[in-house]
């Protein structure tokens, strides 16, 4: 059924009038609203800042692991390799992505300890340091890959490593990440599924109180049945509008994104626990990048 004339969002004055004799409830609600404050500074990284608890400790460990990996991968130094290695290290330091490399490296070490096969791919394979640390297994020098495609001083958005695991091992790797970094600071990345025409017709049909038979017919043949009734016309009108606006249907789980934050994750987003059992953020990839 359609909304009745008295079913609308009331003004504060109208709402207060409904609580005459119980003004304390209104005052408590107003006090609670006044105490609520939410602010996000954009352009400032919210990612976890250290793996070991100290920026200095992180850098020393990162430098040690990178140099050890350099010796394992390339053996003796030469000027070309050394220049590339030092340039990448300096850019990583400048952009403050030491912890990001270390967190990924730590995850890879866990996977190796369990014998889980994995593949590092995407633009992260352009990094010699990632190759030296075993995050990827593609030699960017041999393939003449440019590190700047992955990370450069002018890049404002953070890069990301794409690491593929078998579906048989994924949940154990994810569980390790939650155990390592804590559920207060970790969540899976959400994604938003949007309403399609048939789904929207069915939902709006229920809103307008249409019989199931009519809803089924309209969903199957909207061009024909939409001519018959003004309510059906309204359903189709709102369906076209809401589908065009990509109206969200529900929250799902991104194929592989994990958020690990310095402050508790709920400082930025609400989370929910789907049947899979891991907290999922309410925002999706593009929101996460912007924030």
pLDDT in tens, 211-249: 888 888 888 876 656 566 787 888 888 888 888 888 888
Tell me the percentage of the chain whose pLDDT exceeds 90: 40
Every domain of the chain and the residues it spans = 46-181, 196-245
pLDDT at 63: 96
Q: What pTM does this model have? A: 0.77
pLDDT at 144: 93
pLDDT at 242: 85
| Chain segment 151-163, per-residue pLDDT in tens | 888 877 777 888 9
pLDDT at 2: 58
pLDDT at 114 over 90: yes
pLDDT at 60 over 90: yes
CA dihedral 234, 238, 241, 244 (to 10 degrees): -120
What is the arithmetic mean of pLDDT over 243-267? 85
Select from 190, 165, 187 the least CA-distant residue to 108. 165
Tokens 């990301």 sit on residue? 160
- Diameter over CA atoms, the chain: 85
pLDDT at 257: 85
pLDDT at 45: 79
pLDDT at 224: 59
CB atoms within 10 A of CB 170: 14
Side by side, the strands of the sheet bearing 248-260 are 248-260, 186-194, 280-281, 271-272
What is the arithmetic mean of pLDDT over 28-48? 84
Identify the weakest region by mean pLDDT among 75-79, 239-243, 285-289.
285-289
Query: How do 280-281 and 271-272 pair as beta strands?
Result: antiparallel
What is the arithmetic mean of pLDDT over 166-190? 92
């Amino acid at each position: 059924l359609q909304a009745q004339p008295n079913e609308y969002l009331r003004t504060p004055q109208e709402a207060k009038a409904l609580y005459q004799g119980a003004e304390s409830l209104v005052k408590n609600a107003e006090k609670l609203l006044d105490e609520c404050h939410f602010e996000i500074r954009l352009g400032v990284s919210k990612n976890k800042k250290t793996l070991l608890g100290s920026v200095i400790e992180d850098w020393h460990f990162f430098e040690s692991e990178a140099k050890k990996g350099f010796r394992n991968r390339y053996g003796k130094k030469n000027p070309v390799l050394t220049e590339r290695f030092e340039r990448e290290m300096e850019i990583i330091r400048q952009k403050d992505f030491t912890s990001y490399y270390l967190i990924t490296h730590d995850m890879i070490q866990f996977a190796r300890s369990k014998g889980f096969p994995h593949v590092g791919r995407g633009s992260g394979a352009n990094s010699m340091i990632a190759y030296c640390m075993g995050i990827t297994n593609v030699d960017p020098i041999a393939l003449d890959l440019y590190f700047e495609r992955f990370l450069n001083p002018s890049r404002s958005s953070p890069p990301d490593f794409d690491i593929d695991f078998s579906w048989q091992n994924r949940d154990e790797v994810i569980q390790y990440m939650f155990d390592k970094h804590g559920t207060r600071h970790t969540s899976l990345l959400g994604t938003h599924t949007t309403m399609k025409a048939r789904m929207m017709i069915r939902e709006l049909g229920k809103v307008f109180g249409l019989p199931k038979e009519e809803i089924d017919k309209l969903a199957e043949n909207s061009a024909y049945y939409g001519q018959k009734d003004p309510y059906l016309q309204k359903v189709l009108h709102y369906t076209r509008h809401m589908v065009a606006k990509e109206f969200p249907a529900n929250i799902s789980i991104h194929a592989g994104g994990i958020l690990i934050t310095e402050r508790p994750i709920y400082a930025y987003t609400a989370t929910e626990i789907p049947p899979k059992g891991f907290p999922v953020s309410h925002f999706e990839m593009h929101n996460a990048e912007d924030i």
